[in-house]
Amino acid sequence: MDMRAARYHGPGKPLSIEKVPVRPLRMGEALVRVKAAGICYTDTHFLTGVLNLGIHPLTLGHEIAGEVADLSAAAQSLRVGDRVLVYYYATCGQCHWCRTDRANLCPQVVAEYGFTADGGYAEFVIVPAANLVKLPGDLDLLEAATLGCSVTTAIHAARTIADLRLGETAVVYGAGGVGFGLIQFCKLAGARVIAVSRSPGKRAKASQLGADAVVDGSGDVGRAVRDLTAGEGAEVVFELVGSKVTMAHAVNALRRRGRLVFIGYSNDLFVANPLQLVIGELTVTASVGNTFDELLQAVALAAARKITPVVDRAVSLEELPATLEALREGKIIGRAVVVFP
Ligand SMILES: [Zn+2]
Ligand SMILES: [Zn+2]
């Protein structure tokens, strides 16, 4: 059997829509008919080479929701037809990190779907059945797909890395898919949220999702945050952009003992005079991916309507390259999602 897939051929080369074979299942694997695959900013990093794992040709796409189409004999926990969301890390399960619920840091990761192994920009994806989360009936697959990276990354960053506390002020610096997840999760956690974006449309969306204040990212963000916090600064800044300018503003926006959490990145270097960190006893930390447990939390929060996935538009596989370009130009509010009929 063949399927259509958007194939990545390395940095600087366009994605191409190709027919590729669907291989037979191995022990414990499931074949998932992809119904929706969220388009993450990380995919633009693959295309530009900002992120280059050296593996191609490859099918990108790590926010994957669909239906179980086939199961190997050993995969008993699911049924054909089940609606599922993919946990995109297949980890070793044996190492220190896997055994201490930090599998996102597993150094012996077997596969990361959409990063090192074929992902969801295709009609089918093959993953271990153990990587599938069964979705509640009332969760739309289009919305569910976006939980796979954007919302669960937000939960990992806010809860596990920043250890965000009730009453703290959090700056969400960059209003993309993860940013919109962060705004909602930080509000649920009892924080005051200041969202930063250069786009008026994204600022309006941030307000709609509950941000207490919004700041225009083209101005002096550090000063604006201080003005909004009686000169103190914020306890936590989530840095979702990672450019030279935003990194400098992010440090300036921190309160004493503040925590700067990197999630976004570019080719720019983080430069700070240690004195600035020393004087305020600032912490610089970072967040990558998520654990299986955090993905379950994301699904539960979405099912309870406490977090709303922000879907800008549904596109066809053929529209994926142009949509990635629109994402890079800041024209997508939240997630665009590739859908398959
Ligand atoms: Zn992602
Ligand atoms: Zn491991």
Q: What is the pLDDT of residues 27-85, one digit of tens each?
A: 999 999 999 999 999 999 999 999 999 999 999 999 999 999 999 987 778 999 999 99
Distance in Å, CA 114 to ligand 1 centroid: 9
Nearest to 133 by CA among 66, 183, 179: 66
Span 2-146+309-339 CATH architecture? Alpha-Beta Complex (3.90)
Residue 76's pLDDT is 74
Distance in Å, CA 105 to ligand 2 centroid: 7
Nearest to 1 by CA among 29, 22, 18, 15: 22
Ligand minimally distant from the alpha carbon of residue 109: 2
CA-based radius of gyration for the chain: 20
Residue 73's pLDDT is 80
Distance in Å, CA 115 to ligand 2 centroid: 17
Ligand minimally distant from the alpha carbon of residue 177: 1
Q: Chain-wide mean pLDDT for the chain?
A: 96
Ligand minimally distant from the alpha carbon of residue 148: 1
Q: What is the mean pLDDT of residues 89-95?
A: 94
Ion ligand 2: residues, CB within 5 A, are 91-92, 95, 98, 106
pLDDT digits 0-9 by tens, 287-341:
999 999 999 999 999 999 999 999 999 999 999 999 999 999 999 999 999 999 8
- ∠80-132-85 over CA atoms, to 5°? 95
Distance in Å, CA 37 to ligand 1 centroid: 11
Q: What is the mean pLDDT of residues 221-238?
A: 98
Distance in Å, CA 240 to ligand 1 centroid: 12
Distance in Å, CA 114 to ligand 2 centroid: 19
Give me the residue spans of the domains in the chain: 2-146+309-339, 151-286
In this predicted structure, the answer to whether residue 183 has a pLDDT above a threshold of 80 is yes
Same fold, 2-146+309-339 and 151-286: yes
Give the residue carrying structure tokens 């000169």: 231
Ligand minimally distant from the alpha carbon of residue 110: 2
Distance in Å, CA 130 to ligand 2 centroid: 15
Distance in Å, CA 176 to ligand 1 centroid: 11
Distance in Å, CA 112 to ligand 1 centroid: 11
Instruction: Please tell me the class of the 151-286 domain.
Output: alpha beta
Distance in Å, CA 293 to ligand 2 centroid: 15
Q: What is the mean pLDDT of residues 257-286?
A: 96
Distance in Å, CA 9 to ligand 2 centroid: 28
